[in-house]
Structure 1
Amino acid sequence: MSLIKKFATVASGTLMSRVLGFTREMLMAAALGTGPVADAFYAAFQFPNTFRRLFAEGAFNTAFVPLFAKEIEAGGMDGAKRFSEEVFGVLFSALIVLTIAMELAMPFLVSTIIAPGFTGDPEKYNLTVALATVMFPYLVCMSLASMMAGMLNSLRRYFAAAIAPVFLNVILIGVLYWAWRSGADGLAVGHWMAWGVMAAGVVQLAIVWVAARHAGISIGFRRPRLTPGVKRLLLLALPAAVTGGITQINTLIGTAIASTQASAVSSLALADRVYQLPLGVVGIAVAIVLLPELSRALKSGNEVEAANLQNRSVEFTLFLTLPAAAALLVMAEPIVRVLYERGAFAANNSTPTVAAILAIFGLGLPAFVLIKAFTPGYFAREDTKTPMVFAAVSVAVNVATALALFPSMGAPGIAVASAVAGWLNAGMLLFVLVRRGHWGREAALMKRIPRLVLSAALMGAALWYAQGWLAAELSSSARLVTKAATLALLSGAGAVLYFALAFATGGADIGMIRRNMRRGGKAQVTNPSPDP
């Protein structure tokens, strides 16, 4: 299976999840707007979600995958199964202890870390504590599910792990539909959504658990022991957790700062959902596929293949994310109007704020995706400390910038801080890879990048002027069908223009597409469990 086909396998599941996520957010915006219940729900959900990214996706997709792949090469499936059971025993025990501790400390955590600004509003504060208490056990399910997903990815079975997150949105959409049919008030919707999150965690775990068994790995529970393999994992996992979850750390910090201003938390969350579509479809797909592929190439001593993997990944990410960034920057307001401007959201007049945040997130999008492409170059070499240092620097910059800009800019200032921190992190990662000789730069790639940037900039300029001509069709007073059709027309025309410019300027060529579609045949021969 070629690298692009593997990206597409993961991206298809992620795309489905993100599209359903849009539907969920549209329903939530209509039901709750950016009011106090929405603020409470988003703040409460952000906490277990951040832990999930830190200790599950961050740690296991970066530390566990290379070690699991090494066990497969050294001891076959039996050795990999033994290692997985050792890790499972330690992980499950640690998660139970952590969950109990967090549940007992939830009132303190909300008042100091999650949303300190809510303490001035007892009703919102108590609601946040209640919702976070219900949702935090979601971490147990998703951490174990991420471990199963890491094993499946190492075996090149990508689809089950990619499709599992879809069910979070399916369940929450069902909850919102039921709430609408039953005429529930905002408070009831918030509580039902929290229980829906918990149920989704159980369903997602069940999906990847069954897929792992189908792949030939049936994990039993072993008494938790710090075996050499587990110790090595923990040594790699702590910095990997911080690095892999840097975007979520910055989001959590932004949520805490934003909690001092009414509606700021939910405005950030709604804008975040939109830019997470290209970030998730491209960035997460690249990170999930690239790490095991790069680990295998390096462990076999094939530096040429490793360099080719990295260059193809950057080529792929920039080819798709640069036009997405330009579109978000210039079309943020029409996008927000079409997606969210109805019901309680429209009543709160939240469009200008959410659109401003989304436009700024668009500026940071290429950086956020490049981080996903650069970090496997460290993790595949079992270097998790260097990216952790860079992550810590970017967090410090994010906090300082957010605190400086929030008083004058409000929630958009937090988005600026996130974008600045993202570009700083991506720049540091690339600089050290090049300095160490771990980045095999291609002359052809170096020529394509500025041409792709030019193509995206020209497309953005064209969309900007086209919006002026179609201002009436995109205005708040226009019918939803008219706005949606006009936005779809602009998006389609922009995509056609971008691809035409990219091929005309030499930013992309047919040979590039063919190379990416053909590569990977050799690796498939050694695949112990190919995709069905």
Structure 2
Amino acid sequence: MSFEKHARTVSLLTLVSRFSGLFRDAAQSRVFGTHPTMDAFFIAFQLPNLFRRLFGEGALSASFTPVYAKLEKDNPEKARLFASVTMALLTIALAALTLVGEAVVIAWPMFFPKEQLAYQLMAIMLPYMPLICVVAFMGSILNMHGKFAVAAASPIILNAAIIAASSGVSYMYGGIEKVLHIQIVSWSVVVAGLLQLAWMMWSMRGYGIRLSLQWHGCRDSLRTMLTTMLPMMLGVGVFQINTFIDSLIASYPTMVGSTIFGLPYPLMEGSNTVMNYATRLFEFPLGVFGIAIATAIFPTLARQASNPALFAHALRRGIRLALFIGLPASAGLIVVRTHLTTVVFQGGKFNADDTIRVATILLGFAPAVVAFSVMQTITRAFYALGDTSTPTRISIWMVCLNLLLNCTLIWTPLNTSGLAWSTTICAFIQVAILIYILHGRVNNLFDIHTRIASVKIFAATLVMTAIITLIALVLPVGISAIAHVVPVGAEWGQSLVQLLALTGAGIVCMFALAKWWHMPEWKWSLGKIDADIQAIDNGP
């Protein structure tokens, strides 16, 4: 099966997962709003989430996959042993790290007593770190065997648990104290991790992979993987690292205080919460499409790295598909940002002012969807070629630049949204550098067909953006009456109608133009690729 069909599977299940994630965020925003308890929760959840993305889905998966692919092709029994030993070492290392982390979290409030709740929640949720990292690692093994659905559906369990703990507890115990409630939500995260692990273990049965420390038969493979893993943490995880830095800067008023070096800190309490809400909306299209494409194409690139023609062929398709989906997603997100924020978050404890704050930050994040979508595929191409140092060196500079821009832009009128614009600026610089370097290593990467396809995608996106912007200007005049039939309020109802109308119009417009202009990417995005793959070299 081609990577496009795998990408479709991952995208569809990730779409379901992301929708459940939006329901989760909607439940939390309406129950807690931008209350300081949510700041504490997001701070505490950031650490296990960072490790999941770096170890489970990022560096470990990226370094493990090429080695496992080669072993699976040459010696399946040795591949199973390699996977078993890697999983055992990962479990032991993360369990030890969790114990150390618990000790640090317990001792930390003695030095920084400002926000005790964040440390309490971190102590509760730290065990989720080894659980979800092992779950994500198992998912990478299943991906190599073409079983993409299991890992893509796994986050639904976490989202369901948090929804139950947020809305369910609020419904049954309406007057529950906020601190106790957020502690219950934190415990639900750990329970979800156990359920996710059980789900993965059940799905892994029959593959012959068990915890094992008999590494003598795969020592060279382990050494190769570990040698490449550390550099990959920066190459694959630059967005996660930058997001973590953003969170630390945004959470300063909650964790430390309202002044820094005797000056008033430019951000207010609750900044970390609105940043996280905006990040969730930004990650929705990125996770559904950009990361899904990179996840699906990586095994293909790893297998075809020894064949330059096939490698370049697959990579060109991956870049074109990432552009075709990522560029209109960025443009569309800019247009619908306020309506999307209103529909997902507004209500209960989350008011209209909170909506404006999140939508303003989302404006800064939106252009980065296309940059990160392409970057995910480009970075995997470097790793499939065995080059971990180039993305790592660039990532180090980008992390430093992001920190510099963060510390500068928050003092400007951009305020909290300066953190988002910093991420976007760094993303475009990084992807431009990576493409420039890769262009010199992959023969005819941007051939005439890819260049023509890129121009068509840009043109179609401009037309789509103009059309939905025009619709956004005239639509409110005709829908005020429709909103009255929506029982949750006129403002929410109008935003829902406009969001559905603009999103539908954008999708129809983009696919209609793609079909009219004979762009095969629209078929690839649906997994219909067999005829087009043979025709790529003859025309776009």
Give the corresponding residue for 1:53: 53
Secondary structure, counterpart of 1:343 in structure 2: coil
Give the corresponding residue for 2:490: 478
| Conservation of the 8 A alpha-carbon contact between 1:86 and 1:227 | no
| Conservation of the 8 A alpha-carbon contact between 2:476 and 2:494 | no
Unmatched 5+ stretches in structure 2: 254-267, 535-540
Give the CA deviation at 1:483: 2.7
Give the corresponding residue for 1:459: 464
Residue by residue over 1:56-110, the C-alpha shift from the partner in whole angstroms, topping out at 9 and shown as x without a partner, is: 211222100111111112212x111111222123222211211111111125768
Give the corresponding residue for 1:116: none
Give the corresponding residue for 2:95: 96
Give the CA deviation at 1:246: 1.1
- Amino acid paired to 1:104: A
Give the CA deviation at 1:458: 2.5
| Conservation of the 8 A alpha-carbon contact between 2:453 and 2:519 | yes
Give the CA deviation at 1:511: 7.9
Residue by residue over 1:354-390, the C-alpha shift from the partner in whole angstroms, topping out at 9 and shown as x without a partner, is: 0011121111110111111101111112221211111
Which of 389, 400, 406 is equivalent to 2:393? 389
Give the corresponding residue for 2:278: 271
Give the corresponding residue for 1:330: 335
Secondary structure, counterpart of 1:220 in structure 2: coil
Give the corresponding residue for 2:510: 498
Give the corresponding residue for 1:64: 64
| Conservation of the 8 A alpha-carbon contact between 2:410 and 2:418 | yes
| Conservation of the 8 A alpha-carbon contact between 1:331 and 1:464 | no
State whether structure 2 residue 199 is matched by structure 1 residue 207: yes
Give the corresponding residue for 1:15: 15
| Conservation of the 8 A alpha-carbon contact between 2:395 and 2:430 | yes
1: CA distance, partners of 2:45 / 2:109: 12
Q: TM-score, normalised by structure 2?
A: 0.88
| Conservation of the 8 A alpha-carbon contact between 1:152 and 1:161 | yes
Change (3 A) 1:147 1:111: farther
2: CA distance, partners of 1:274 / 1:318: 19
- Amino acid paired to 1:137: P
Give the corresponding residue for 1:527: none
Residue by residue over 1:20-55, the C-alpha shift from the partner in whole angstroms, topping out at 9 and shown as x without a partner, is: 000010111101111201111111111111112112
Which of 210, 225, 229 is equivalent to 1:219? 210
Change (3 A) 1:281 1:28: same
| Conservation of the 8 A alpha-carbon contact between 1:7 and 1:286 | yes
Give the corresponding residue for 1:115: none
State whether structure 2 residue 134 is matched by structure 1 residue 129: no
State whether structure 2 residue 248 is matched by structure 1 residue 243: no
Which of 188, 191, 215 is equivalent to 1:196? 188
Change (3 A) 1:174 1:417: same
Secondary structure, counterpart of 2:422 in structure 1: helix
| Conservation of the 8 A alpha-carbon contact between 1:6 and 1:289 | yes
- Amino acid paired to 2:473: G
State whether structure 2 residue 317 is matched by structure 1 residue 297: no
Change (3 A) 1:509 1:135: closer
2: CA distance, partners of 1:220 / 1:353: 47
Which of 154, 158, 163 is equivalent to 1:164? 154
Which of 400, 415, 432 is equivalent to 1:427? 432
Change (3 A) 1:513 1:292: closer
Give the corresponding residue for 2:263: none
Secondary structure, counterpart of 1:345 in structure 2: coil
Secondary structure, counterpart of 2:442 in structure 1: coil
Give the corresponding residue for 2:359: 355
State whether structure 2 residue 174 is matched by structure 1 residue 175: no
Give the corresponding residue for 2:135: 145
Give the corresponding residue for 2:259: none
| Conservation of the 8 A alpha-carbon contact between 1:2 and 1:519 | no
Give the corresponding residue for 2:264: none
Structure 1 residue runs of 4+, over 4 Å off?
Answer: 107-112, 223-226, 472-477, 505-516, 519-522
Give the CA deviation at 1:510: 7.4
Secondary structure, counterpart of 1:245 in structure 2: helix
| Conservation of the 8 A alpha-carbon contact between 2:331 and 2:366 | yes
Give the CA deviation at 1:4: 1.8
Give the corresponding residue for 1:526: none
Change (3 A) 1:386 1:269: same
Change (3 A) 1:68 1:109: farther
Residue by residue over 1:166-216, the C-alpha shift from the partner in whole angstroms, topping out at 9 and shown as x without a partner, is: 1110111111232222212322221111111111111112222221223x2
| Conservation of the 8 A alpha-carbon contact between 1:401 and 1:417 | yes
Change (3 A) 1:167 1:332: same
| Conservation of the 8 A alpha-carbon contact between 1:3 and 1:517 | no
2: CA distance, partners of 1:105 / 1:278: 36
- Amino acid paired to 2:346: E
Give the corresponding residue for 1:24: 24
RMSD value, Cα: 2.5
1: CA distance, partners of 2:328 / 2:431: 19
2: CA distance, partners of 1:511 / 1:66: 28
Give the corresponding residue for 2:322: 317
- Larger CA deviation: 455-464 vs 369-378: 455-464
Secondary structure, counterpart of 1:407 in structure 2: coil
Residue by residue over 1:465-488, the C-alpha shift from the partner in whole angstroms, topping out at 9 and shown as x without a partner, is: 322223465899724334312321
Secondary structure, counterpart of 2:316 in structure 1: helix
Which of 397, 400, 407 is equivalent to 1:403? 407
Which of 270, 280, 283 is equivalent to 2:287? 280
Give the CA deviation at 1:133: 0.9
Secondary structure, counterpart of 1:344 in structure 2: coil
